[in-house]
A and B are shown apart, each in its own frame.
Chain A
Amino acid sequence: MSAIAISASRPTKSFWQRLGGFNMFTGIALGIAGWFIGYYAIGENITGHTLTYYKAQAGENDIAVCLGYVLGVVGFLVGMGFANYPVRRMLGHPPSLTEHESEGEGAARYFRLCTDHKVVAVQYLIGIGTFFFVGGLNAMFIRTELLSPNTHVFGPNQYLTLVGMHGSMMMGMMTSGILGPFANWVVPLMIGSRRMAFPRIEALTFWLLMAAGVILVTTIFWGGFQTGWTGYQPLGDEGTAGYDAYIGFFGLVGLSMTLLGLNLMATIITMRAPGMTWSRLPIFCWGVVATAILMVLAAPMLIATLLMAGMDRTVQTGFYIAAIGGSAYLFQNLFWVFGHPEVYILALPGFAIVMELLPVFTRKPLWGYRLAVAGLLGVAFLSFFVWQHHLFVSGIDADLRPFYMLSTEMISLPTGFTFLVVMGTLWRGRIRLTVPMLFCVGWIFNFLFGGISGVFLSDVPSDVTTHGSFFSMAHFHYTIMGGLVFTFFAAVYYWGPKMLNVKFDERLGKIHFWTLFVAFNSTFGPLFALGFLGMPRRVVTYPLGLQGLNDWVSISAYCIGLSMLVFLYNVVKSTVFTREPAEDNPWQAKSIEFSLPTPVPVHDFERLPTFDPDPYPYGVEPAPIGAPVPAGGVA
């Protein structure tokens, strides 16, 4: 098929010629043009005459704003070149899988639609990393405001916008924080494929996410939004057009998540090389499968929920407006049916990374492979049946409360499997405390406290006090920051050198870990106490007596910021200045991605690889005498 043919070299183009054509810059230009067409040419005209009264009331034209965002995104994607292939298909041209995959194009590939999964992964790493730092900066501002019990730096509106942007940025962008960079990079390699099942969709998920991030930032031009990342209605219905930006942001994130999950699922199901049976799949791929199930099924509900909110604000439906037959509970229910799987979308890749890395650094096979798989899939399955624990005091009919208490506590069973697997793998290993391993150990510590504190929130009597307080805030930071972000860094230090072909400074890495670990616990540990002492979430004021603890937390939070700067310095130093090329296999890992040369060639494998029976061929087989040690995975 001609589609597989790749042009190996290209006539060289000048800088300006490269700037033309379909790339990020054209995309931005057309995106801005699309905004103006949507807002002024269409939005103002179809609504300007009929709704003058309302516009005067609200001061803003939400239909025009929404149309502006929609057409802006469309323009951006057209400029990126995402419309070319669909139009070709409409004209009946045969399907193809590749775009801009040849090495001859150099760095320009990173600024355009490229279907090489390794390029998309690096795009993800840098794009998500940027927004992660923006979100982190918001957190620093939040903690600055909370240095004093009354408002002093930001007004309440700015404060709430910072809270909302921090939450949305982290919950939205970081959902793809591990799957985006690392699953896209490593899954095809691990299963012996050269690309993803739908490479254009793979690229689309990344650029959608970037468009989403920019839209979220534009909320500040409308005065921000005051709802936090949960966007509860009917408060959102009152908000300025900044809430439209929130809807646009999370809607696009939902779409990106759905497609990312669908693509990863389809890849793992259909593109495994000969010998890569399900029972030989590396545990990371199992984690990706579990997460992808949640993404494919839960994220569409988020899109629908937010579209309903958007319709309430623009065409005057009443989904969430009690006075005209709607219900605020409808939003809460729909949001959390998505929202609870969402938090496992954030947590499960972390489980998978820890279990994937431990065998390498303990020099032992994964203990209880099947148990680990059962744990991942069990969490994914149960996560759809726990959402009403977010509504324990909401005033929704209480009959199902015992059920949700049980289902929520039951989710600690599959999570416990993961802990058992981790502990079993550590047992009698030869533990090498490298930087990635340190972050995995950090995960064990943090997630333990995250999980245990979850029990207090799942228990209705205890939840009455802890619900909506800093306690729950501390809980989910322990699971998500302590779970996802720590494993994100583990993955950065583990696969990063091979992805970027640079060697990171190990000493700086260790400094990064220890400062982050200490500062993290020093920040979020006291928040449990603040919650117990009666401090609700998202408040700009608090009782005078709580200032000591709050200041301690704020200063610790700055230390997290400093620790991140160490990381940033390490990355910039090794990628821009020292540029020491990475070894092919710095960790003596026995997984397939480390058997490839660094940098990994554009087409991954010369020929289809085949796979051994054991995905984790570490360790020496135990002697048959002595204490009975059943080998071979009885799980």
Chain B
Amino acid sequence: MEASAVHLELEPEPRHWQRRALWVGARLWCGSISFFFVSFVFAYFYLKSLDTNHGWKIGHVTIAAGIGVSIAALQLVSAVALRLSSHRRPGDQLAAGVIALLMGLTAVALQFYEYTILNFGAASGGYASVFFGWTSMYAIFELGGLYWIETQVATMLRARRNGGTGVDHALAQAGFEACSFYWAYFVAIGVLAYVILYIL
């Protein structure tokens, strides 16, 4: 806060409220994104079963299986690293955060690379629509999740530089836990996307 004027220290709400709010907020947000991506799951099975005008796949629609596996694997490692470190010391969390961040960014980059090498376009039928819609939205949401991880990493770095003064450790811990839960959940959706879009 800026150091101007008089600071009136008011009796705060109980500290644990904010921590619980983070816990609850992350879980509710997981509910929201589930319903967001369920729309794409629904679209996939709906359009596939209807196959209107034999348009599920128009022309040669083959996907880059290797890239799909790589994206899913990178995300999975990143989520596991982050989630496993969520109840450990801040030092371990920092390392896990950096790993998760780098892996996530690589996954997003790979996703956009994949778009450039595919042999079909967005108009190549129902499958192509769902593929492009789901993966691009997923990548955009992924960037949001990576932002959250970045704030955790930055908070830990700054706290280390300041020697741990002025940091509410319990709150930081709660923030990291919420972030890692969300990330694990989000990656689970990513794995589902891989199974549906690449394997089924």
Contact = CB atoms under 8 A, between A and B. Distances in A.
Establish whether A and B are touching in the complex (CB under 8 Å).
yes
Interface in B131-174: 132-133, 137, 147, 150-151, 154-159, 166-168, 171-172
B1 interface: yes
A267 B24 CA distance: 9
A89 B12 contact: no
B167 A318 contact: no
Contacts, number: 210
A607 B11 contact: yes
Interface in B21-42: 21, 23-25, 28-29, 31-33, 35-40, 42
B35 A315 contact: no
Nearest to A270: B20
Interface stretch (A326-334, A438-446, A546-554, A565-573): A326-334
Contacts of B189: none
A14 interface: no
A315 B121 CA distance: 9
A3 interface: yes
A311 B52 contact: no
Interface in A95-118: 95-97
Given A7-B4, A301-B39, A198 B21 contact: yes
Interface size class of B (residues with CB under 8 A): 35 or more
A271 interface: yes
Q: Tell me what chain B mostly uses at the interface: helix, strand, loop, or mixed.
A: helix
B42 A325 contact: no
A301 B35 contact: yes
Contacts of A398: none
B28 A296 contact: yes
A5 B9 CA distance: 5
Given A266-B25, A318-B123, A325-B126, A11 B4 contact: yes
B197 to A, nearest CB: 14
A330 B55 CA distance: 14
A94 B55 contact: no
Interface string B1-23: 11011111111111101101101
Contacts of A86: 147, 151
A301 B55 contact: no
A446 B172 CA distance: 51
Nearest to A292: B28
Interface in A309-325: 311-312, 315-319, 322-325
Contacts of A307: 133, 137
A10 B4 contact: yes
Contact of A266 (B21, B47, B147, B171): B21
Nearest to B50: A327
Interface string A206-241: 000000000000000000000000000000000000
Contacts of A5: 1, 7-9
23 contacts: A5-B9, A6-B10, A7-B2, A9-B5, A10-B5, A90-B147, A91-B158, A93-B155, A197-B25, A262-B32, A265-B28, A266-B28, A270-B17, A297-B31, A316-B121, A318-B126, A318-B128, A319-B43, A322-B52, A326-B126, A326-B129, A330-B46, A333-B42
Interface of A: 1-11, 86, 89-97, 193-195, 197-198, 258, 262, 265-267, 269-271, 296-301, 303-305, 307-308, 311-312, 315-319, 322-327, 329-330, 333-334, 603, 606-608
Closest 8 pairs (CB-CB, A-B): A325-B55, A92-B158, A92-B154, A304-B39, A325-B126, A317-B129, A197-B21, A300-B36
